[in-house]
Every structure is written in structure tokens, then in C-alpha cells.
Amino acid sequence: MELERIESECLQLLGESPQPLVPLDRLLHELRRAFPQANLPEDMLLRFLRSHQDVVVLEGLGNLGPVTEQDFADAGYYMGPRAVLRSRVPGPRELGAHLLEQMNGLETLLARAMDAARQEKDVQRTAALEDAMIRLGELRARLQRHLGGET
């Protein structure tokens, strides 16, 4: 059956990926390439992964106020869900490093958006982006304290 083959391929991709946390968009791309005849919508794959006993889904940062997930995608940063085999779930340090990496991408994007808002003299958007940068800094500090400041 096609669904069993897709499940098997999905688990194999998650198991063989150099990085245990596999972005959903990359996984979906590989599955669509392997099964071009299958109609595999993103939401269906996400539902499957969330309900699978061998898979953990880490939700993305999503839409954070003045910057949306699509803004990240347009800037080349994937901030959406990631899947990982339960047997490959990273430890707290590795997971913390991954979160800090995502925060660095967010900081870069927020800085670009803030520069654009300032050039456009958009006071409301500039203020919202400044607030987002402050919240990001606070979140980064909390995470670094939690990790012992080693990241």
C-alpha cells in the first residue's frame, strides 16, 4: 500500500538525516520527490507526524507579532515545525543550541525589518519591532541562564 511505503520512507529520512531535527518543509519536499504521484498536503503530513508513536514534532516559532512565518521564509529562514525520531531527540544542550540558532535568525530578520521601518519612517512598526527585539533578548538570556551560559 502507498501509505505504508510513504511512512517507511518518512521514518527512513528522519533516521538518516545528518541533523536529527528535520524541517517539515524539507521532509515534505523529499517525500514528494520520492512519491510524485501521491497527493501529500503539508497539513496531512503534520497530522501524521504528530500522531506517530516514533516521532516528535517540535513546533516552529510561528507568527511573532510584527514578523510572520512567511516573512522568515521570504528571508530564507525556515521557522516552522521540525520532526525528529523519538530515538534521536537531542539532549537539552543540543536543543538549546538549536533554539539559539533560530533566535539568531530571528534577530537578523528583525534587524532588517527595523531598518526598513525606520527608513520608511513607520513609527508604529518600528516600535513593534523594537519590542520584539527586547522580548527576544529576554528570551535568549533566560535560555542561556537555563543552559548555564555555555552557549
Distance (Å, whole) CA 83 – CA 49: 7
Higher per-residue confidence, 17 vs 138? 17
Q: Is the pLDDT of residue 133 over 90?
A: no
Distance (Å, whole) CA 100 – CA 2: 38
> Which CATH fold topology does 1-89 show?
Arc Repressor Mutant, subunit A (1.10.10)
Q: Is the pLDDT of residue 62 over 60?
A: no
Residues 68-121: tens digit of each pLDDT: 666 666 656 666 788 999 999 888 788 778 778 878 888 888 898 899 999 999
pTM (2 d.p.): 0.63
